[in-house]
Every structure is written in C-alpha cells, then in structure tokens.
Amino acid sequence: MTGFCSLALLLPVLLGCAGGHPVPGRASFHKLLLISFDGFRWDYDQDVDTPHMDRLARQGVKAKYLTPPFVTMTSPSHFTTISGRWIEDHGVIHNMMFNTETQWKYSYKTTQNKTEWWDNGALPLWITAQRQGRKTASFHYPGGGAKYNGEPVQRSLVESYTHPDSNETEWRENIDIVMNWFTKEDFDFVTLYYGEPDSVGHRVGPETNDRRVIIQQIDRTIGYLVEAIERHGLTEHLNVIITSDHGMTTVKKQPNVTEILLTNYIKFKDLVKFDIVDYGGFGMLLPKPGQEEAVYQALKDAHPHLKVYKKEDFPERFHFAKHERVLPIVMYADSGYNINGQLIIYFNKGDHGFDNALMDMKTIFRAFGPDFKKNYLAESFDSIHIYPLMCRLLGVTPEPHNGSLAVTQDMLLDRHDQQSDSVAHAKTLGMYWSPRCPALRPQAPPSGARAYVGPASR
Ligand SMILES: [Zn+2]
C-alpha cells in the first residue's frame, strides 16, 4: 500500500500536471514566452544604443534577420508565426476583414474577436498545445481572441480600441502579469504582443529620431524582462523568443515621385465591384462580372512601380494567392509606393506590406533560455520555421505545417536530441509535410458584418 501511494504521489511529477490532470512529458519541457514587437525592422538596433539586446545576443541566439511571409502585414504574418502555415493556407490574408457582397470592411482591431476571420482550419499553437495538456495564454497577440473549432485560448487578453501603444509603465506591468501567469498559475506557453515600434514607424517614418527613441524604450523593456525572469526564479525554466512581423520603409510621396492612383487608369464605377486598396503597397480588386480582363489590361503596365497580376498568375514564391479569399486582381508596389484608389487620402510616413524579399521588410529573431545556445549567431531564415521550433521547445506534437525544425535546431543545446519519439515524429512531419492540405481547406467567411470601419494601419 505504501508503495502504491508513493507511486501515486510521484506520477504527476513524472508526467507533468496541468489543471490537476497528468500530462505525459510535460515536466521534461521548459516554459515558453513568445514576444512580438510589431514592425521591428531587422536593423533597428544598429543606429542606436541597445545594451540589453546586445547582452541578450551574447547570452542567447540572434538571427542575422528574419523573413516574414508575404503579405508583410500584421495579422497575416503573426498568424503564420503561430500556425506555421503560409498565408494562402491559413487564410488570414489581410489586416482587414471584408465582405465583397455587403461591401463591409473591418479594421485590424475590429477583427480581433471575429472568429470567422481567423478560424479557417489552421490551428494556432495555443489550441494544439492546450489539447496536449499545456496551459496557454495570449496577451494582445493577433488572433488570440478568436475561437478555433469552437475552442478559445485558455486565457486571452485582446487589445482595446483605445489601448495606448507606447506606455512604458504599462509595458512593464504586462511583463509582471505574464510572469505571474508562469509562476503562480503554471502556464506553459504565453504570447505577448506590443504595438511598437510599428506605430511610430507609420507616423513619422523609420529613419527618424522618434523611431530611435522607441527602440531604446523597447531595449529598456527587454532589460526589465530579463530582471523580472530572474526575480521570479524562471531563469532556468523559461525559454524566450523575441520576434516581430515585418519591417518598415519610408513612404515615397509627390512631388518627389509620381504616386500610384488607380483611378487614373480605370473607372471604378464601371469596372470594379469591390476593392482593398489605400492600405500601403498591397491591393486587391474584384472586377464587375465580365470586366476582369479589362481591369487587368488597363492596370498591368499602368505605372512603372506597380505590379499587377491575375490571381492565378501571382508569383508562387509568395505562397499567398491560392486562398479563396484573395480577389481576382492582386497587385503590389515597389518599396515605399502606396497604392491609392480613387483619391490620395493616405498620410503614413512609413509603411510595410511590400515584397518580403526587400531588406526593409525583414525583421528580427532573438531567443534565450535554458534550451538555447549562448552567443550563437544564426543565419537568416523564414518566420514560418518558428512554429516547429516552438513545438519542439514545448514538447508538443505539431499540426501539419510548412516549416522545418532543421532550420533552427542548431540553435538548441544537445539535450533535445534525447527527447521522446513523439517529438521526433513531429519533426519529420514538419520537414516533409506538403504545403497544400485538402483536408484543411478554408471555408468562406459567414456574412453578418455590421459596421464599416475605415482602413487603419498596423
Ligand atoms: Zn505589424
């Protein structure tokens, strides 16, 4: 009897324990914090002092840069990071949710609680990890407020409409909250999102003193994070990945350049049923019935800095256009050019959304913690590979995805070579799974939209 009791007491420790239920393997994996600073261009730390980020590079891993998916936009890119799927596979193809029948458009923040925009069959890591017994939470991370297959993220805070992006005190408070989730409530995986330096980059442009100032604020916050991890005794128990969703480039305005104004080449009233333009360097059009060829012919050579495609001819390398939400005419502009529709109403000084091959669209990847090597400079890689790395760190078997653990595993200390068969199997899935999965085809968004909200950047 004594032996049985000892075993019964010991089992939850051996197996790990979430919510009172034993979870195989959980105890042998460390916790994971994923932090995203929106719009942090890969080289933002090179023209300003960032002592805390520099120290972290010595104490952990730094990639030369990270390539986001196309379109280089907040919601699509964040959802690739959390799902390991190309944008054409996860279906979150824009910051704006839209309905071509009702003509309604919803801004970035309005979409955050709209499950129908996010839940297209690709499961984000929160849900997959929960189903495997991990406790997960999202703090302002895009998509964290939706339900997936009817299942919400265990704990989710969604940014309010009036949430300030740059309040340093609140940034620190949010870190304290997350640390308490890890220590007092035993959460395993938390995603934490900050809206800077994206806001400043849009408002004043990336090559400005204001941008350098906000990078120093971020650097102080990272210093605070490291101190908070130590204060909470998490140094040996928590892995941290710090990344972002895209870079930023200076917008080109007249009279310095001839801006792109589509109405100079097509009559919207006659040819276009619905458009997503006036939102940086990426746009889509739904021509009126029978007008697709006319719209395409009128636009394809219209402006020397505008590239226009029929959806089916959009370059494969973007892994973007196959989703059914993508409209029949897809276009993107050269770096810095906004695609204006019928008026030039656009006032950003900086923007993103451009070709992800451009260096100005590249972003950052940093990591540290008990499973990462120290002072390790990694080659650049695509953000799609973060997902299998996170699964590996958490000991979670991944969903089918487009990433590969082979890209990042050299960042890890050798102890990961001895982990369980299920994880080794997951690695194989990650490396060889085909990018198109018929079983996960997305569904059309249900109608039922309510209000038009004009374009807003992020
Ligand atoms: Zn963003």
In a domain, residue 353? The reply is no
Question: What digits encode the pLDDT tens for the residues 52-79?
Answer: 999 999 999 999 999 999 999 999 999 9
At 235, list the tokens.
């140094």
Q: Are residues 7 and 83 in the same domain?
A: yes
Given the structure tokens 């129908």, which residue do they identify? 116
The pLDDT value recorded for residue 421 is 36
Cβ–Cβ < 8 Å for 74, 246: yes
- Ligand 1 centroid–CA 245 distance in Å is 5
Given the structure tokens 């719009």, which residue do they identify? 39
In a domain, residue 86? The reply is yes
- Ranking 128-137, 326-335, 349-358, 425-434 by mean pLDDT, the lowest is 425-434
- Ligand 1 centroid–CA 353 distance in Å is 9
Active site residues: 74
For residue 30, the tally of other CB atoms under 10 A from its CB is 16
Q: Are residues 267 and 384 in the same domain?
A: no
Neighbouring residues of 180: CB distance < 8 A, sequence distance ≥ 6: 232
| Total residue count of the chain as it appears in this document | 458
Q: Are residues 200 and 230 in the same domain?
A: yes
In a domain, residue 398? The reply is yes
- Ligand 1 centroid–CA 9 distance in Å is 47
Q: Are residues 203 and 225 in the same domain?
A: yes
In a domain, residue 196? The reply is yes
pTM, two decimals, is 0.87
- Ligand 1 centroid–CA 227 distance in Å is 27
Instruction: Say what percent of the chain tops pLDDT 70.
Output: 85
For residue 203, the tally of other CB atoms under 10 A from its CB is 16
- Ligand 1 centroid–CA 39 distance in Å is 5
Q: Are residues 395 and 338 in the same domain?
A: no
Q: Are residues 217 and 308 in the same domain?
A: no
- Ligand 1 centroid–CA 172 distance in Å is 21
d(CA 173, CA 390): 25
CATH number at residue 128: 3.40.720.10
Is the pLDDT score of 453 beyond 60? no
In a domain, residue 454? The reply is no
d(CA 312, CA 243): 32
Q: Are residues 338 and 383 in the same domain?
A: no
Closest CA to 383 of 271, 289, 246: 246
Question: What digits encode the pLDDT tens for the residues 150-168?
Answer: 999 999 999 998 999 999 9
The pLDDT value recorded for residue 457 is 61
Containing structural domain, residue 40: 3-250+358-428
Q: Are residues 145 and 195 in the same domain?
A: yes
- Ligand 1 centroid–CA 101 distance in Å is 28
The pLDDT value recorded for residue 141 is 98
Of 347, 370, 402, which one is at a domain's C-terminal end? 347
- Ligand 1 centroid–CA 198 distance in Å is 6
d(CA 393, CA 367): 12
Amino acid at 303: H
Question: What digits encode the pLDDT tens for the residues 396-423?
Answer: 999 999 999 999 999 999 865 544 433 4
What's the total number of domains in the chain? 2
Of 314, 347, 380, which one is at a domain's C-terminal end? 347
The pLDDT value recorded for residue 200 is 98
DSSP classification of residue 445: P
Q: Are residues 309 and 407 in the same domain?
A: no
CATH number at residue 313: 3.30.1360.180
Q: Are residues 131 and 271 in the same domain?
A: no
Q: Are residues 156 and 102 in the same domain?
A: yes
In a domain, residue 379? The reply is yes
In a domain, residue 295? The reply is yes
Is the pLDDT score of 244 beyond 90? yes
In a domain, residue 352? The reply is no
Q: Are residues 31 and 143 in the same domain?
A: yes
Neighbouring residues of 188: CB distance < 8 A, sequence distance ≥ 6: 18, 26, 29, 31, 32, 129, 134, 135, 136, 394
The pLDDT value recorded for residue 27 is 72
- Ligand 1 centroid–CA 164 distance in Å is 15
Instruction: Say what percent of the chain tops pLDDT 90.
Output: 83
Question: What digits encode the pLDDT tens for the residues 162-185?
Answer: 999 999 999 999 999 999 999 999
